[in-house]
Amino acid sequence: MSLARFAALLADPTRAAFCTALLDGRAWTAGELARHAGVAPSTASEHLSRLIEGGLLAEERQGRHRYVRLADQTVATLIEDLTAFAERGAPAPRTLREATRLSAEARARTCYDHLAGRLGVAVADALLDRGLLADEAGLTVTEHGRAWLAEQAIELPPRAGRRGARPVVRSCLDWTERRTHVGGALGAALCRTALDRAWVERIGSGRALRVTPSGTRALHDLLGVRPEATAAR
């Protein structure tokens, strides 16, 4: 596919809205996306087919539902990068609602399937500070780190690290912080754990997260993440 044809997939407001919504890493149904973007179901259906055809989205049919999600992490990164570029130098948001959403996402959000925003960066820093990760020609999990993960009962997928599977740790550049945070299978496992154990919870239907009181404590006790790092300003 040519560059132009590919870019055209994201060049429509409705399709762009779909992709932005899907950045939360969850699978949405066709109807949810249609309502979210304010178009008729028939319109949404055609858009989804094109996005899937173009390799940006993956679908999963269940009964009468059509679930779609971003095809993989690289798509999520690409869309975040493009958005960051498009929005650079953008004027301050004009509505309070918008300002609140942006501020919440800057504080803590999901980036496809892992943690981003100040929370994501703080966790990455903590893992490096404690020697659980090392930064030598790319991030790697240390021996110490493996032991810690086992201790915390944070499980990586069985095939993690094998040839062909997704890398265990992948650094991912954060557009709000301009800092790297932890992606890859480890990033996904950490995010899943944080949601499962109610360290964080989703705010509304978007990508923004709130760190719960017990989460604040857990992150501090386990990783030394300072509460200020993720508190509302």
Partner DNA sequence: ACGTCGTTTCGGCCCCGGCCGAACCGTTCC
Partner DNA sequence: GGAACGGTTCGGCCGGGGCCGAAACGACGT
Residue 213 sits at the vertex; the CA angle it makes with 230 and 204, to the nearest 5 degrees, is: 70
User: CB under 5 to 8 A by kind: which of a copy of itself, DNA, none does 181 bind?
Assistant: none
DSSP letter at 91 equals P
Binding partner of residue 131 among a copy of itself, DNA, none, CB cut-off 5 to 8 Å per kind? none
Please tell me the distance from the alpha carbon of residue 64 to that of residue 152, in angstroms, as a whole number: 39
In the set 42, 61, 63, 85, which binds a copy of itself (CB under 8 A)?
85
Q: Does 92 bind a copy of itself (CB under 8 A)?
A: no
Please, what is the minimum distance in Å from the beta carbon of residue 178 to a copy of itself? Answer: 12
Rounded Cα gap, residues 45 and 65, in angstroms: 12
CA angle 125, 82, 56 (to 5 degrees): 100
Task: Give me the count of residues in the chain.
Answer: 233
Distance CA(169)–CA(73), nearest Å, equals 12
Residue 86 touches a copy of itself, criterion: CB under 8 A: yes
Distance, CA of 108 to CA of 230 (rounded, Å)? 7
Q: Where are the alpha helices (DSSP H) in the chain?
A: 3-10, 13-22, 30-37, 41-53, 73-87, 96-107, 117-129, 143-151, 184-196, 213-223
Binding partner selected for residue 95 from DNA, a copy of itself, none, CB under the kind-specific 5 to 8 Å limit = none
- Please report, in angstroms and rounded to a whole number, the separation of the first and last CA atoms in the chain: 45
Q: Of 46, 53, 60, 81, which one interacts with a copy of itself (CB under 8 A)?
A: 81
Note whether 123 and 225 are within 8 A (CB): yes
Q: Which two tokens stand for residue 82?
A: 């493009």
Residues 145-184, mask of contacts with a copy of itself (x by CB under 8 A): ----------------------------------------
Pick the piece of the chain touching a copy of itself (CB under 8 A) from 3-11, 35-43, 45-53, 99-107. Answer: 3-11
Scanning 59-67, 71-79, 109-117, 195-203 for contacts with a copy of itself by CB under 8 A, the matching segment is 71-79
Q: 29 is in the binding site of which of a copy of itself, DNA, none (Cβ under 5 to 8 A by kind)?
A: DNA
Nearest residue (CB) to DNA, 38 versus 224: 38
Give the footprint of DNA on this chain (CB under 7 A).
8, 11-14, 29-32, 34, 38-50, 62-66
Q: How far is the CB of 158 from DNA (least distance, A)?
A: 29
User: Checking DSSP bridges between strand 114-116 and strand 109-111, what pairing results, if any?
Assistant: antiparallel
Bridge partners, residue 29, by sequence: 67
**Interface residue list for a copy of itself (CB under 8 A):** 1-13, 15-16, 19-20, 55, 74-75, 78-79, 81-83, 85-90, 135-137
